[in-house]
A and B are shown apart, each in its own frame.
Chain A
C-alpha cells in the first residue's frame, strides 16, 4: 500500500526540549513538505524539499529544522527556539512541485 506515514500520532514534550517528527513516503515522490495546522488557521508551510539534500524555507520556518538525506524521508525537528510549538503537523509529498500533494495522517505535538 503506497502512502505517507507519520509517527508518532501523538507526542508530548517538555518545554525547552527539541523533538523530531518522522515522515516517510513510499510513493517515489521527489518533493516533500511540512505544514503546521492550528485551529482556525488553516495550514501553513514550514519547509519543503524538491530533491534529496535540498530544502527550502516556507512561510514559518523559524524554530524548525529539516533534513532530506533519503528520498523517502523528511524528518522535522521542532527546536526549543520555536515559541509556540503545540500544533498539528502534517507532512505531504508530490511527484514534483507542479503536482498535487498527498498528505500523511499528521502528528499532534503538545509541549507541556
Chain B
C-alpha cells in the first residue's frame, strides 16, 4: 500500500526565510501528487498538483514543488515566507494505476511563521 512521509512535523521560521517541506512516497508507478494547506479555521485547500509534464509545478501564493521520480519525492518550496503562511501543510499521493482511489496523505507539517 502507498505511504507518504513528511519529514518535519513542526517547522518554525521567521518572515522572509526560505521554506522547503519534504515529502516522499513509497510506491512507484504512475502517481498524481498534491500539496494541500489548512489555514487556521479554514477548509483544506489545494496549493498545487502534479499530474504529468514539467516536474516543477507552481501553485498559489508563490508556492512551488518539484517532482523527482527517481527519489519518490515532491518537496514544497517558497523562497520567502510570510506570517500568513502559518498553517498545516499536507502532501498527498494518488496512484493512478488502480486500487482505492482516494488520496493517501502524509501526517502533515505544522508551519509557524514568526513576524
Contacts and interface: CB of A to CB of B under 8 A. Distances in A.
Nearest to A3: B43
B9 to A, nearest CB: 7
A105 B43 CA distance: 5
Interface of B: 1, 4, 6, 9, 32, 34, 36, 43-46, 49, 51, 90, 92, 94, 96, 100-108
A104 interface: yes
A64 interface: no
Given A40-B9, A40-B107, A33 B43 contact: no
Contacts of B100: 45, 48, 56-59
B1 A59 contact: yes
A41 interface: yes
B102 A42 contact: no
A89 interface: no
A6 B78 CA distance: 32
A101 interface: yes
Q: Which of B32, B46, B100 has the most chain A CB atoms closer than 10 A to its own CB? A: B100
Contacts, number: 58
A50 to B, nearest CB: 7
Interface of A: 31, 33, 35, 40-45, 48, 50, 56-59, 90, 97-98, 100-106
A103 B36 CA distance: 10
A43 B101 contact: no
Contact of B101 (A35, A48, A100): A48
Given A42-B90, A56-B100, A59-B100, A103 B43 contact: yes
Contacts of A102: 46
A41 to B, nearest CB: 6
Nearest to B90: A42
B105 A43 contact: yes
Contacts of A59: 1, 100, 102, 104
